A and B are shown apart, each in its own frame.
Chain A
């Protein structure tokens, strides 16, 4: 099961939620690009990345996430994440992704956080 098959985009209170499902690796690149395009088709207040159903994330997957963060920065779209396991949260901290991507424990706090940051 890979992200390319099941990644989806939802909208919640003006926030685009990208559900990353399965492995986040090279095979997920097309799906992530498509999801980003869909999420930003109508400019959202923020983008939230949902890792609750994500599986194995490798360095290529990290690069894909960095790619989304760079696009978000370029378009001044706040970006958040939730649902990371402790291991991947540690990796986000070691790589300093966590310095530029707010990490919340769940979807509600992530969406609320996104709304607050826009007010």
Chain B
């Protein structure tokens, strides 16, 4: 009896060699009878090494090895095993049972079988490689399909269009890396004409990141409509995400709310890269503390605010920008981006220029390493629509050295600029006092009376009001601010010190006073309506004077 038993699927099922053989060498037996039962060979079975080094057909019945597989082969009636070796690698074995004539295999038979094995092994190897490539292609195709799904999810959750805000230029750029990351951005219309801006980044890539991004974006949108305050919104989003966040995933996110009419921008940050704002004094970071979303519940999110003056621009960005490497593995880095914001115009042009710098840095043919997202917000320099009517004009910007008594310079200059606008004498005097007190505070508390750190004063006019912005360098780590409300009776009784009237006076002299800080700068904005229709508010809030 002579049977060529096919390479059985299970014959090498537990070996590296066997895996390939099992998949690829599925051949039907030439004869339909006397088929040898499949035999598994463990990877550490000595039979494998023996067959690998054998010079030709191996007489199984004569072979003595401490091998479970050998015992199985003998039990299955295998008489002869012919190793199939291609390029020195054992890729299969041809097993034969006893000859039908019941005679032993002759020398000619063995030669014939050796020749057959020498011919069959390369052909079998080619077949195995083809199968292997087909399998890899299927894997790649599945991977690409997953990436496409991730891209679709992300793109569907990005804004279809950006808002048209009179006096503002809003631009955005998003380009996913090939292995789609978790970047996202959003622009959310809120009540009273306010607009929410979001830039975020989910750790991880592909579909999981895209799904978390979609969930974050949806929760954030819903919370933003109801809660407005950026810090509270991020707190709420964090509480929603924490219970269901997959292990080792989290979301960094910067959320800010813009009041287009005033330029007031309130923001909170959940561990995201700091945005940059370009002002007349250069570019500064907007800092606010907060943990990434989805890591730990009960986290507070610090809320800060700044005022984007005419000509200012803001850049929100993802780490794909600063972490892009050049061929020497040097990152683009925060300093370069900060410098770009200071140097270039805002809006879409800022994005274009940064992308050009980025390409120069990485080289034109470099593959993008991570998603890149940028959102810019630029306030027109001299024509900001307010109340749908007249534009804002900057009347003057000047500096006052931080030296005692110099508040007189500021109030006199502001008074001279504002007087022709028609503010009545009593209200002009009030504005003078407020400007004087604000400048004193800025020189003393903000700049510690360092002459080389001037206070910057800017005056703007709109249809029916005047804005005076007084900026010092005390935004990063402000000195202790006085919280004591001045009380004349307490002062006369010696229970309060005589001083402490500055901020009280400021708030009572003007129609509105807004205090904002960012990474480096502290600004107090004073608003005075040109007509007398607005009551002067009597606020006895936080005091902060000389």
Contact A95 B488 (CB under 8 A): yes
Contact A59 B488 (CB under 8 A): no
Q: Identify the closest chain B residue to A55 (Cβ).
A: B408
Query: A97 within 8 Å of B by Cβ?
Result: yes
Q: Identify the closest chain B residue to A67 (Cβ).
A: B498
Interface residues of B in 453-502 (CB under 8 A from A): 486, 488-489, 491-494, 497-502
Residues from chain A with Cβ under 8 Å of B498 in the complex: 63-64, 66-67, 70
Query: A116 within 8 Å of B by Cβ?
Result: no
Q: Identify the closest chain A residue to B496 (Cβ).
A: A66
Nearest CB on A from B180, distance (A)? 58
- The tally of residues in A whose CB lies under 8 Å from a CB in B reads 25
Contact A87 B405 (CB under 8 A): no
- Which of A60, A70, A100 is the one whose CB lies under 8 Å from B499? A60
Residues from chain B with Cβ under 8 Å of A60 in the complex: 499, 546
Per-residue A-contact encoding for B353-386, CB less than 8 Å = 1, 0 else: 0000000000000000000000000000000000
Query: B265 within 8 Å of A by Cβ?
Result: no
Residues from chain B with Cβ under 8 Å of A77 in the complex: none
The DSSP consensus for interface residues of chain A is: helix
The DSSP consensus for interface residues of chain B is: helix
Residues from chain A with Cβ under 8 Å of B501 in the complex: 59, 62-63, 95
Given A59-B437, A59-B505, A66-B491, do A87 and B426 touch, yes or no (CB 8 Å)? yes
Query: B12 within 8 Å of A by Cβ?
Result: no
25 A-B pairs with CB atoms under 8 Å apart are A26-B405, A26-B546, A56-B436, A58-B436, A58-B546, A59-B437, A62-B505, A63-B497, A63-B500, A63-B501, A63-B546, A64-B498, A66-B491, A67-B498, A70-B491, A70-B492, A73-B492, A73-B493, A87-B426, A87-B430, A90-B430, A91-B505, A95-B488, A100-B489, A100-B492
Using a CB–CB cutoff of 8 Å, the interface residues on chain A facing chain B are: 25-27, 56, 58-60, 62-64, 66-67, 69-70, 73, 86-87, 90-91, 94-97, 99-100
Given contacts A58-B440, A62-B505, A95-B486, 16 further A-B contacts (CB under 8 A): A26-B405, A56-B436, A58-B437, A59-B502, A60-B499, A66-B488, A66-B492, A70-B492, A70-B493, A70-B494, A86-B426, A87-B430, A90-B426, A95-B488, A96-B489, A100-B489
